[in-house]
């Protein structure tokens, strides 16, 4: 379907919407983690975009970092060192994993990004953590206003919340289209759409999504039927792996990814003081693996499995991603024992070195499911 082809090019940090935004002298802020409260950024007239790295070997970052550092975090730094993020007027990191935390200092001292900021995100959800995080986000708001000479009023925040929530509702509608067999949208297409939502102004993305959802029921080139799979992991910054899975007979109908459902599943409450409701949403959202405890996330995975009629699960651990690698065996055990689901655990590098072995193992897993 032609409209679906529009989203993939938008994942680039050089897309037409960013160029147009910059041409109006408006600032762009890169962010590293789905715990960054984008609404606050957007309310200040600043475009938040996700820094997604690339598949290139991170040769420059390798000079600064040991081998056992997450290849995704390394790849993002590598692009910044190569000045491929010169469009960014600033970069913000959230206190998620040790890799991101420590690499933040290199972003500050060794890249040409003019402004950097660190949000101290709590790793558990308690009343004290909520109070702390709310203050932390107030400090972030002050930093944005001072650094970019912008005004972030309560009204602007409310408008930003509405726009972001609309995007989340539309993305959930898009995911609904993956329930039938065959689905109306493939896993790789859905991932491209979610990734593109992180790279352009949300109001523009909403327009594209409305247009897509209005016409999708008439789609004739439906994705192929196949074994219905859920993919779990941290970051997938493009659709190559999902296309590989689809190419060997898998049909990815659901995900537990921080660049997938975990990014948009939860809404911000629209009635209430905006900074409080934003705080609540980000701390209480479906947790990423760095949060205590894993059970809430596992619950979300089990719900997705049922909602999307999943027949098998692929767990992708990025090499040296401690937070996810500790969780992965527990999640696999839970899905095998409590849900009776076949699970395949895979380790991968963001550069996709070793893709041939990944392909062989995925192919064998899908053949096993077919039998
Ligand atoms: S993939 Fe893991 S280690 Fe890498 S940035 Fe994400 S949470 Fe951190």
Ligand 1 neighbours (beta carbon < 6 A): 70, 72-73, 96-97, 99-100, 234-235, 318, 321, 323-324
What pLDDT does 293 receive?
85
User: Residue 347 corresponds to which tokens in the numbers above?
Assistant: 């380790």
pLDDT digits (tens, 9 = 90+) for 287-343: 999 999 899 999 999 999 999 999 999 999 999 999 999 999 999 999 999 999 999
What pLDDT does 166 receive?
98
Asked if residues 233 and 324 have their Cβ atoms less than 8 Å apart, the reply is yes
Asked if residues 152 and 43 have their Cβ atoms less than 8 Å apart, the reply is yes
Q: What is the pTM of this model?
A: 0.97
- What is the atom index within ligand 1 of the atom nearest the CA of 234? 1
Task: Provide the strand spans (E) within the chain.
Answer: 28-31, 47-50, 90-94, 116-119, 227-232, 250-256, 312-318, 343-348
Q: What is the CA radius of gyration of the chain?
A: 20
Name the residue among 264, 258, 256 with its Cα closest to residue 169: 264
Asked if residues 34 and 283 have their Cβ atoms less than 8 Å apart, the reply is no
- Quick check: 3 pLDDT over 90? no
- Quick check: 45 pLDDT over 90? yes
What's the CATH fold of domain 2-152?
Rossmann fold (3.40.50)
- What is the atom index within ligand 1 of the atom nearest the CA of 318? 1
pLDDT digits (tens, 9 = 90+) for 156-204: 999 999 999 999 999 999 999 999 999 999 999 999 999 999 999 999 9
Calculate the average pLDDT of the chain.
96
Q: Indicate the top mutation candidate among 51, 96, 291 to test ligand 1's pocket, ranked by most ligand atoms within 8 A of CB.
A: 96
CA of 101 from ligand 1 middle (Å) equals: 10
- Quick check: 64 pLDDT over 80? yes
**How far is the C-alpha of 229 from the C-alpha of 219, rounded, in Å?**
22
CATH topology of 2-152 equal to that of 155-370?
Answer: yes
Name the residue among 1, 316, 368 with its Cα closest to residue 183: 1
- Quick check: 1 pLDDT over 80? no
CA of 127 from ligand 1 middle (Å) equals: 26
CA of 99 from ligand 1 middle (Å) equals: 7
pLDDT digits (tens, 9 = 90+) for 213-239: 999 989 999 999 999 999 999 999 999
What is the enclosing helix (H) or strand (E) of 74?
Answer: helix 71-81
pLDDT digits (tens, 9 = 90+) for 293-307: 899 999 999 999 999
Asked if residues 93 and 119 have their Cβ atoms less than 8 Å apart, the reply is yes
Q: Indicate the top mutation candidate among 30, 75, 78, 100 to test ligand 1's pocket, ranked by most ligand atoms within 8 A of CB.
A: 100
Domain parsing of the chain, residue ranges: 2-152, 155-370
Tell me which residue has its CA closest to atom 2 in ligand 1.
Answer: 321
Bridge partners for 91 per DSSP: 30, 116
What pLDDT does 257 receive?
97
Domain 155-370 class, CATH top level: alpha beta
């Amino acid at each position: 379907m032609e409209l679906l082809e529009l989203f993939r090019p938008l994942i680039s940090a050089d897309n037409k919407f960013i160029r147009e935004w910059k041409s109006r002298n408006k600032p762009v802020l890169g962010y590293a983690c789905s715990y960054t409260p984008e609404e606050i950024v957007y309310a200040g007239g600043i475009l938040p975009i996700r820094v997604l790295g690339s598949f290139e070997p991170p040769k420059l970052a390798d000079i600064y970092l040991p081998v056992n550092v997450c290849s995704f975090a390394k790849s993002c730094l590598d692009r910044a060192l190569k000045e491929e993020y010169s469009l960014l007027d600033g970069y913000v990191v959230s206190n998620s994993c040790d890799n991101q935390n420590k690499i933040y200092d290199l972003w500050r001292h060794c890249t040409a990004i003019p402004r950097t900021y660190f949000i101290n995100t709590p790793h558990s959800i308690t009343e004290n953590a909520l109070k702390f995080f709310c203050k932390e986000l107030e400090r972030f708001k002050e930093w944005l206003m001072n650094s970019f000479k912008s005004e972030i009023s309560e009204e602007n925040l409310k408008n930003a919340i509405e726009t972001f929530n609309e995007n989340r509702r539309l993305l959930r509608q898009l995911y609904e289209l993956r329930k039938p067999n065959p689905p109306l949208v493939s896993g790789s297409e859905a991932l491209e759409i979610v990734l593109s939502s992180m790279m352009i102004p949300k109001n523009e993305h909403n327009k594209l999504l409305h247009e897509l959802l209005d016409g999708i029921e008439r789609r004739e080139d439906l994705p192929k039927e196949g074994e219905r799979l859920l993919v779990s992991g941290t970051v997938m910054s493009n659709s190559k792996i999902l296309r590989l899975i689809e190419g060997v007979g898998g049909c990815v109908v659901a995900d537990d990814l921080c660049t997938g459902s975990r990014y948009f599943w939860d809404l911000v409450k629209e009635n209430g003081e905006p900074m409080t409701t934003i705080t609540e949403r980000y701390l209480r959202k479906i947790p990423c693996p760095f949060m205590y405890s894993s059970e809430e996330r596992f619950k979300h995975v089990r719900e997705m499995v049922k909602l999307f009629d999943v027949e098998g699960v692929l767990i992708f651990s990025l090499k040296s991603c401690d937070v996810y690698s500790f969780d992965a065996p527990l999640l696999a055990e839970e899905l095998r024992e409590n849900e009776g689901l076949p699970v395949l655990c895979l380790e991968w590098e963001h550069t996709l070195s070793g893709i041939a072995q990944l392909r062989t193992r995925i192919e064998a897993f899908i053949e096993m499911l077919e039998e």
